[in-house]
Amino acid sequence: MVRAAKARRSRGARSTGGGKKWIKGAIKRPGAFTRKAKAAGMGVQAFARKKRHAAGRLGKQARLALTLKKISKR
């Protein structure tokens, strides 16, 4: 059991340096999600809430948009 937990941790673990640099690495295609939302005739947050359970890149972009919105409120 301990070995599985250790493997799980090391597989996805990344050093962030303790700062906000992870955001820069997380945004692969700046503006792409906003363009998708506008093409759908929706705002970014409304589109993100609608697509947060989508598979693939769209779902990841939606979840990131929701996360970044939460960070901006802190």
| CB distance 32 to 38 below 8 Å | no
pLDDT (0 to 100) of residue 60: 94
41 three-class SS: coil
The predicted structure's pLDDT at residue 73? 74
pLDDT digits (tens, 9 = 90+) for 7-46: 555 555 555 556 668 888 888 999 999 999 999 999 999 9
The encoded tokens of residue 28 equal: 């692969």
Q: Which residue has the higher pLDDT, 1 or 72?
A: 72
- pLDDT on residue 13: 54
pTM summary value: 0.69
Domain boundaries defined on the chain: 20-73
Which single residue is written with the structure tokens 């929701």? Answer: 66
